[in-house]
Amino acid sequence: MLTLERRKRILETLANDQRVVASALAAEFGVSEDTVRRDLRELAEEGLLRRVYGGAVPRSPVSPTYAGRRGESVAAKSAIAATAAGFFRAGQVVFIDAGTTALAVAMHIPKELALTVVTHSLPVASALAEHPTVEVILLGGRVLKAALATVGAETVEGYRRIRADLCVLGTASVHPDIGLGVFVHEDAEVKRAMVGAAAEVMVVAAGEKLGTTAPFLVGPLSIVDRLVTDEAAPDEVTRTLARAGVDIVRG
């Protein structure tokens, strides 16, 4: 089997199974594991997958910066946000994460709904500053400029001192086996604090993120109560997530 054909098959298997194992690929192709590992290394260098011990997993296709994500999946984010905002109830304390999808959720909060929103996102706080019935608590910390959000010990402790009814969580990736991932370790720390202080966790993520991975783990799939995604989300992955106990809602 030619190298290009072998690598095409690797990517096809990865898309279907959300994981490939080097030893299994070597047996299937009739080549050495060293050959497969070289294939995986070079595919990783091209940004087509992410290597893990013993094989590889899909890599999140989204931009690692807030500015880069603003133009990605705009229609999907709007549909997700409108659906997610429908789960809010009057009088709740709600954590809203940083990120463009979380911002879209904040902007879809009905004008007559009275909530307390706690956030570390500068754009979310700004968007809700003129909302007539939402009280906004902006947590302090060091501003992570690439994310337009505060991070660090002060932000983490701020979330730990509050008990929320609902946490709206953004993420760079959702993998059935690995869990939720992000691109910045400080972002993962803040998200873990949010999850730990909330009665319910609702993840908002476009379908392109499902079945992929990012470098820093927020937590396993078991931390997620509900996932709101879009109609383009791959059915095979959503079925796997549903079997794991996640309530899947399409916007």
Residue 30's CATH number = 1.10.10.10
188-215 pLDDT, tens per residue?
999 999 999 999 999 999 999 999 999 9
Q: What pLDDT is attached to residue 69? A: 60
99/82 Cα distance (integer angstroms): 16
**Could you tell me the residue range of the domain that residue 77 belongs to?**
66-250
Evaluate whether 81 touches 43 at the Cβ level (below 8 Å).
no
In 3D space, the residue among 183, 186, 167 whose CA is nearest the CA of residue 224 turns out to be 167
- 105 and 25 in a single domain? The answer is no
In 3D space, the residue among 248, 187, 178, 164 whose CA is nearest the CA of residue 219 turns out to be 178
- 33 and 106 in a single domain? The answer is no
- 23 and 139 in a single domain? The answer is no
- 70 and 41 in a single domain? The answer is no
- 114 and 26 in a single domain? The answer is no
88/166 Cα distance (integer angstroms): 8
Chunked in runs of 10, what are the mean pLDDT values of the chain (251 residues)? 85 84 90 90 85 86 64 83 97 97 96 97 97 97 95 98 98 94 96 98 95 94 97 91 95 86
42-87 pLDDT, tens per residue?
888 888 888 888 988 888 777 666 565 666 678 889 999 999 999 9
Global pTM value: 0.82
What total of structural domains would you count in the chain? 2
- 89 and 193 in a single domain? The answer is yes
Q: What pLDDT is attached to residue 45? A: 83
Q: What pLDDT is attached to residue 72? A: 66
Torsion, Cα of 36, 42, 47, 52 (10° steps):
40
Domain boundary pick from 57, 75, 102 = 57
**Could you tell me the CATH number of the domain that includes residue 85?**
3.40.50.1360
- 80 and 136 in a single domain? The answer is yes
Q: Which amino acid is at 85?
A: A
Q: What pLDDT is attached to residue 61? A: 76
